[in-house]
Structure 1
Amino acid sequence: MRGGLRKRAEGAGRKPRLVFTDRLAATLVHLRLGLPHAALAELYGVDRSTVSAAIREVRPLLAARGFAIPNRPGLRIRTLDDLFTYADAEGVDIRLDGTEVQVRRPRAGRPGRKAFVSGKKKQNTIKTTTFSDHQGRALFSGVVRLGRMHDQTAVRTEGIAEQFRLHLDVHAEVDSGYQGLAKEFPSQVSAPPKKPAQDAPDGDKRAWREARRRQSSARIVVEHTNAEYKQWHPLQRYTGRREDYEQTHLAIAGLVSDRAARRTTRRLTSTELVPVRATAC
């Protein structure tokens, strides 16, 4: 009867075949190398279902850990609000960019099947948005959406634009996919400059190329962050259940941030042009 006393002591029941350290190790190996559950079961001498249960148990724990903060051991970023609050308080200029991973195509006849089709890659994908600092160290990765949604749409629907309104001192470098965000927040968001007209003076074209080069040099580090994620096998081409992708991505991204946070912070050098003083002969 519901509401009665327990009839079985806490901790009773069938014991797991693998201790927690083995379950954690199996999950890490699966996330890093993409080994099938059956292969891991052979390594540990257990049934495949035991490994599957272990991964289902440990993966959400890794996903919930959040992202490590450079030079702040013990503190972690778990939400967009945490990220922008940290960047505002520490004066960190962020870089953001979207990345997408190919996933299995939904069955024919299922509703929303076309929502996974990316207009850029012409494949079934899931997209995420990555945030890093000026050294390419991962600060946050999330804003998970289906491949059909454009980056600029995610900015509106997932609260990124609202965070810029709330934190006026946060600055960001973005690519051309976020031109709308740069137009809305011109003093906070830097996007590639507009290309001059075909008949523009050569001086304007050279200035545009130099400005574009500098902006790209400042932003390119977030591409390196995305490349770090893709070194993990499941994020090269995800073959698992699509509903588990967000959890898998957060688990991997959090582990990548742990390693990135240990990099020594380099001083941000100035790239401003300095006029040369004419010397008297």
Structure 2
Amino acid sequence: MIISNRRITGLTADVIAELVTEIGPLWQERHQARLASRQRKRAVGAGAKHRLVFVDRLLATLVHLRHGTTHDVLACWFGVDRSTITRAIGEVRPLLAERGCTVSRDVWLRSLAEVVDHLGVTGKTGIIDGTEIRVRRPAAGRKDRDKFISGKNKQNAVKSMVVTDDEGRVLFCSPTKPASCADITHARQLGLVNDAGYQGLGAQTGGRVVTPPHRQFKKNAPDWYEEIYERQRKAHSSRRIRVEHGIAHLKNWRALARHLGRREHMSDTVQAIAGLLSHQQITDLKSARQM
């Protein structure tokens, strides 16, 4: 039932089957490595048996990411203890994050350098923008408590940079940073820029970076200038809107609407969802072309 209903996991049954084939062996390999690293040795077949097979662990993680379902609810749903669900999600989520984003069946983009190379080879345009995700406020007295406060939205959040192609398909999501980090600083660290928050980098990079048009007249601008500026601004916005669409698709996954878990897991959560979304987008595109 869970696999057959896309509304529950956000993915089709075919995509889930591919995930099982791809990630299952990796999970089994890491599980065996953890057992082998223990000092205490057990006989073959000894020890507690898994009550949650890998497919169920994957499904629990997908439902958690898609709907923000609590571990307690998932534990009741799958008939196991809460700690089992917590451990399962903690094991599967990094594996999903490491997959990266896909642009075809045999091309995966796991780093920003690979995204840049792909755009250079294909001649396509990449669009970048930042998105903020609300998180819980750090406890009182904790060091650097204020660094998560967003200067824009005045709320505790983390920030990630999203790269899409000119059709809004997700190509890359960066690891998260505290929301107090300015967009332009984050963009410089990544090597990419785009939005109005990045104005000035065009001159600093000798024109290699395309930014929104800079307004020359702050007050009493001539009518002819207002017309030109508005035309340039709309032309830039019409290209940039695609990344906003990509971010909206990401935020459809409730784990990114507002994160109530540990902030340390946010980078894995963002990158896992980006990889899952891009995989489903490519599958949908392929199916549409075959019709």
Could you tell me the TM-score, scaled by structure 1's length? 0.82
How many angstroms apart in 2 are the aligned matches of 1:40 and 1:54?
11
Describe the SS at the equivalent of 2:174: strand
The answer for the alignment partner of 2:54 in structure 1 is 20
The answer for the alignment partner of 2:214 in structure 1 is 194
Which structure features the higher share of helix residues? 2
How many residue pairs match? The answer is: 248
Question: What does residue range 15-54 of structure 1 map to in structure 2 within 5 Å?
Answer: 15-54=49-88
Q: Is this contact kept in 2: 1:152–1:180, CA < 8 A?
A: no
Matched to 2:203, the amino acid is K
Matched to 2:56, the amino acid is D
The answer for the alignment partner of 1:245 in structure 2 is 266
The answer for the alignment partner of 2:98 in structure 1 is 64
Question: What does residue range 152-167 of structure 1 map to in structure 2 within 5 Å?
Answer: 152-156=184-188, 158-160=189-191
1:255 paired with 2:276, answer: yes
- Which of 172, 175, 182 is equivalent to 2:195? 175
- Which of 82, 86, 90 is equivalent to 2:122? 90
Flag as ranges the 4+ runs of structure 1 deviating above 6 A: none
- Which of 116, 140, 148 is equivalent to 2:172? 140
Cα-to-partner distance string for 1:123-165 (whole Å, 9 max, x where unaligned):
1110000001100110001142101110111123x3415xxxx
How many angstroms apart in 2 are the aligned matches of 1:28 and 1:22?
10
Describe the SS at the equivalent of 2:136: coil
- Which of 163, 177, 183 is equivalent to 1:131? 163
Cα-to-partner distance string for 1:153-183 (whole Å, 9 max, x where unaligned):
1123x3415xxxxxxxxxx7x2201113323
Cα-to-partner distance string for 1:10-59 (whole Å, 9 max, x where unaligned):
66432210111111111101110111111111111111111111111111
How many angstroms apart in 1 are the aligned matches of 2:47 and 2:65?
29
1:213 CA displacement: 0.5
1:61 CA displacement: 0.8
Could you say if the C-alpha distance between residues 26 and 192 of structure 1 is closer, same or farther in structure 2, counting changes exceeding 3 Å? same
Could you say if the C-alpha distance between residues 207 and 218 of structure 1 is closer, same or farther in structure 2, counting changes exceeding 3 Å? same
Q: Is this contact kept in 1: 2:250–2:256, CA < 8 A?
A: yes
Q: Is this contact kept in 1: 2:97–2:275, CA < 8 A?
A: yes
1:77 CA displacement: 0.7
Q: Is this contact kept in 1: 2:175–2:271, CA < 8 A?
A: no
Describe the SS at the equivalent of 2:133: strand
1:84 CA displacement: 0.9
Ranges in structure 2 where 5+ consecutive residues have no aligned partner: 1-36, 287-291
Superposition RMSD in Å = 2.1
